[in-house]
Amino acid sequence: AATGTQKPLAEALDQLAFNDQGLITAVAQQVDTGEVLMLAWMNRESLEITLKEGRACYWSRSRQQLWRKGESSGQVQWLKEVRVDCDGDALLLLVDQQGPACHTGRRSCFYFDLNGERMEVVKEPMLDPASLYK
């Protein structure tokens, strides 16, 4: 499709390739620095909430409920843009992350470096995770 081609939102959502659990992967990226913050999952409802409220809302697979990022930690992801990929089975959220994205207090959840010999912790927490959940 040519640049500028449009489709109404409802039609676009109908065509997303949610998996057999009704979920789609969502990658959150910090809009100004480009840092990849985390990967999470959305169902259709959480995506609609995200678009409507302007902040990331995921589906928590462990708790089986909607998860407005930051609702307990205060570390909200303000939404700037949402992108869908070529085959409609992944989302990229450009966000402005308040504080750390990770429950360990790190800016990004991707803090283990893996190479042919070992895995190593390569990032420091921004703050004590005990201060995130009171």
Which residues here bind a copy of itself, judged by CB under 8 A?
Answer: 1-9, 12, 25, 27, 29, 33-36, 38-39, 51-52, 81-87, 90-92, 102-104, 106, 109-124
Closest approach of Cβ 77 to a copy of itself, in Å?
Answer: 15
Residue 89 marked as a ligand binder: yes
Q: What is the C-alpha separation between 82 and 56, in angstroms, rounded?
A: 10
41 Cβ neighbours under 8 A, 6+ residues apart:
23, 24, 25, 26, 58, 59, 61
Smaller CB separation from a copy of itself, 12 or 71: 12
Q: Which of 41, 101, 89 is nearest to 66 (CA)?
A: 41
Residue 57 marked in a binding site: no
| Residue type at 54 in one-letter notation | G
Shortest distance, CB of residue 69 to a copy of itself, whole angstroms?
A: 14
Would you state the structure tokens that stand for residue 9, as one six-digit string? 């939102």
Least Å distance, CB 94 to a copy of itself, is 9
Question: What residues form the annotated binding site for Mg(2+)?
Answer: 85, 87, 89
